[in-house]
Amino acid sequence: MKLSEKALLYRELAKLVGADFHLDRSLNLLLRQQPSHARRTWLQGLQRGLEEGKGVTDSLRAHSGHFVGTLELALIDAGERSGRLGDAFSHLARFFEAWDVAVRQAMSAMIYPLVLAHMGIILPELPGVVTASMNGEAYSWRSALMPLAVLWLIILSLFLLWRWLSRLGAHSDVVDTWLGRIPLIGSVRRHWALARFSQVFHACLLAAMRMTECIQLAGAASHSGKLVRASEDAAKRIAAGETIAGAMADVHGFPMVFVHAVATAEEAGTLDHEMNRWAAAESIEAADAVQRASQWLPKVAYGFVVMYVAYRIITMMTGYYGGMMQQFQLP
């Protein structure tokens, strides 16, 4: 399911549940709106589970597992337990809206460098096309088609590699740590991960879950192998009687600024408000990081394109003047 579709789905559910519509009636209303295949499957899966007597989370896990992630299940589970299901849907709607905007912004920023790369490959071939047409010869585009094929092979390979590493980094501490060190992109991953962690932790606190369960669910929903490991280790320390902030500080996986904020909030008894504040603040930081990346990554792409165009021009001019010089050489 697309990010925009998920944002729309959760926004409509939050609107209906927030207006005290029964969930069964809300599902019927949304199904009558002729939703897309993915949204219809999601809604029908939830409807089928409710008819079987399951809860919302169990219904989605059983019948719509391909369309929901760990973050969604954690927030919906916490909202269901706390009686704040509408708030959980609102949280998810805002999260997917922000994520969709970030992805669109990043993709739009890369359109011009991609167009420029194609022009950089094709334009140096135009003098050869003109010369061939003047001589009445057929021009071979092989010298342009091969670089275009290599360009798209590189783009596809980078996309698949990043997708694989991102999924691996959601569970592997080592991979997540290395991904976090990538300039520009690493900060985006770190801020989104902490925003997801804080959002789920806040929802679990409102549901009055056990603290060990709160931190484990939040860590799993962060999609960060580093936070997953830190959360598991912190949960063991909390179960042994340590404070939340003390456990977070000992496992060396959470930012120290975040740990200090948790420590003061724990003492003041305002941990739920602090987590809500961090979720909002980290979402803003993640959006700013995406904007910085969308400004600088195209410039990096411009640099590679300019170097390639310069190489093609130098090669073309060398061949042209080399041919002229050969005509003046004595036999």
pLDDT tens-place string over residues 288-330: 887 787 777 777 777 777 777 777 667 666 655 554 445 445 4
pLDDT tens-place string over residues 25-35: 888 888 888 88
Distant-in-sequence, close-in-space partners of 298: CB < 8 Å, separation ≥ 6: 109, 110, 112, 113
State the pTM of this model. Answer: 0.76
Can you tell me the distance from the alpha carbon of 250 to that of 227, in angstroms, rounded to the nearest whole number? 13
Backbone angles phi, psi at 172, to 5 degrees: -100, 125
Can you tell me the distance from the alpha carbon of 325 to that of 319, in angstroms, rounded to the nearest whole number? 10
Can you tell me the distance from the alpha carbon of 62 to that of 276, in angstroms, rounded to the nearest whole number? 30
Rounded average pLDDT over 136-161: 77
pLDDT tens-place string over residues 168-180: 988 888 998 898 8
Q: Is the dihedral of CA 310, 311, 312, 318 positive or negative?
A: positive
Q: What amino acid is encoded at 137 in this protein?
A: E
Q: Which two tokens mark 1?
A: 């399911």
pLDDT tens-place string over residues 80-95: 887 888 888 888 888 8
Q: Which two tokens mark 188?
A: 């985006």
Residue bearing the bigger pLDDT, 329 or 235: 235
Q: Is residue 138 scored above 90 in pLDDT?
A: no
Can you tell me the distance from the alpha carbon of 154 to that of 304, in angstroms, rounded to the nearest whole number? 13
What confidence score (pLDDT) does residue 330 get? 45
Rounded average pLDDT over 125-136: 64
pLDDT tens-place string over residues 183-226: 878 888 888 899 889 888 888 888 888 889 889 888 888 888 99
| Angle, vertex CA 296, rays to CA 291 and CA 302, nearest 5 | 135
Other beta carbons within 10 Å of 194: 24
Residue bearing the bigger pLDDT, 329 or 142: 142
Quote the crossing angle between the two packed helices 85-109 and 3-18, to the nearest 10°. Answer: 150
What confidence score (pLDDT) does residue 136 get? 65
What domains are defined for the chain? 3-98 (1.20.81.30), 110-331 (no CATH)
